[in-house]
Amino acid sequence: MLPEELELKQCEQEAQRLAKELEEARELPKRIAREKLDRDNTMPPLERVSEISRLKRHEQEMATRSAIRNLLKTQTRSLLLLLTLIAAVAALIAWGLRLMNG
């Protein structure tokens, strides 16, 4: 065989290999979606179901408690800032009255 024929044969083999890889790459998203759907549709063992529901309830309760705690912290901070502002305004008014009375 001539070197050109060998090179042509290698190029054809490489083209076939690349075409096969391209086809596999095109099928990959479909395969991943199918596997995800299968996982989502497969029911876990029954003891796992109760454990998962218990964990979800616990997480929701903790989120609610945390939200209430954060709300109380925020309200306390706001109240302290309001009281500080009122004290500063009262001090400014007293200072202004002293200046006017001489």
The 10s digit of each residue's pLDDT in 28-49 is 888 888 888 888 887 767 777 7
Query: Rounded to the nearest 5 degrees, what angle is found at the Cα of 74, between the Cα atoms of 69 and 78?
Result: 150
Q: Against a cut of 0.95, is the pTM above it?
A: no
Residues in the chain: 102
Per-residue pLDDT band for 91 (boundaries 50, 70, 90) equals very high
Helix, strand, coil content of the chain in percent (nearest 5): 95, 0, 5
- Beta strand extents in the chain (DSSP E only): none
**42 φψ region: left (φ > 0), alpha (ψ -120 to 50), beta (else):** beta
